[in-house]
A and B are shown apart, each in its own frame.
Chain A
Amino acid sequence: MSGEVAITRTVLGSGPRGSEDPNSPFSSSQLARLDEALTLSSLESGLPFSVYVGDLAVPTRGSAEELFTKLTDESVLVAVSPAQRCLHIVTGPKSALRLPNRSCALAALAMRAAFANGDLVGGIVNGLRMLADGAGHA
């Protein structure tokens, strides 16, 4: 895993709509949707969600779990690699109690369907919503 990971946080509702970052894979309106989904699902469930979009080292599952070691026990990581066409949802010791593997598998299934249609942001947003619904309220 290359250590170079850009950590981006856009603030809900006040993102810079006019200035597009040419290096960003998503447009500013897509980023706003992503941020809204991240913030709302984290607020609603009390679990801090994070989304990683980029290449994962092989084996991809191990690399996603290695990314998770930088997070807290109650975090949920959604790792998506568009180039390798794989996605991983990783839960920690505390978040696994709230989010059983069945709920994660259901969200992963929905995300796969959206990604196969080329809808990257829509899949992530829907997946986060399903994960937050599965975890219930804090």
Chain B
Amino acid sequence: MSIVQTLLVFVGIPVLVFLLLAAAVFGKSMVRQPNRYRPGKAWDYAPRWYVAHPEVLKGPATGSSTAQGGASGEW
């Protein structure tokens, strides 16, 4: 066995296996979850307000309803 063959078998194959495993473990999350939230991470997105029925919004800041109750929490 020449030196090149030896290197390929004993270095090349382990490196290949390592890379395959690394891709299998980390690949999907690196490609598909760029904006995963982590507690303490910055949140640079513009505020968004998701509503189920747009007609419940009375208009810009001129509503007459007042808050009555609810709950709060921190994490």
Complex interface bits, A64-82 against B, C-beta within 8 A gives 1, otherwise 0: 1101111111010100011
Which range contains the number of B residues in contact with the other chain? 35 or more
Interface residues in A49-71 by Cβ distance below 8 A to B read 49-55, 60-61, 64-65, 67-71
- On whether the beta carbons of A48 and B49 are closer than 8 Å, the reply is no
- Does A90 make an interface contact (CB < 8 A)? yes
Complex: A54 Cα to B37 Cα, angstroms: 13
Given known pairs A42-B52, A116-B39, the reply for A111 and B73 (CB within 8 Å) is yes
**Min distance, Cβ B70 to any Cβ of chain A, angstroms:** 4
Chain A residues touching B, majority SS: mixed
Binding site for B on A (CB under 8 A): 2-10, 23-27, 34-35, 38-39, 41-43, 48-55, 60-61, 64-65, 67-73, 75, 77, 81-83, 85-93, 95-96, 99-101, 104-105, 107-109, 111-113, 115-116, 118, 120
Q: A55-B47, A108-B71 are in contact. List 14 more A-B contacts (CB 8 A).
A: A2-B47, A5-B49, A7-B57, A25-B35, A50-B50, A52-B47, A54-B49, A70-B59, A71-B63, A72-B65, A73-B65, A87-B74, A90-B67, A93-B66
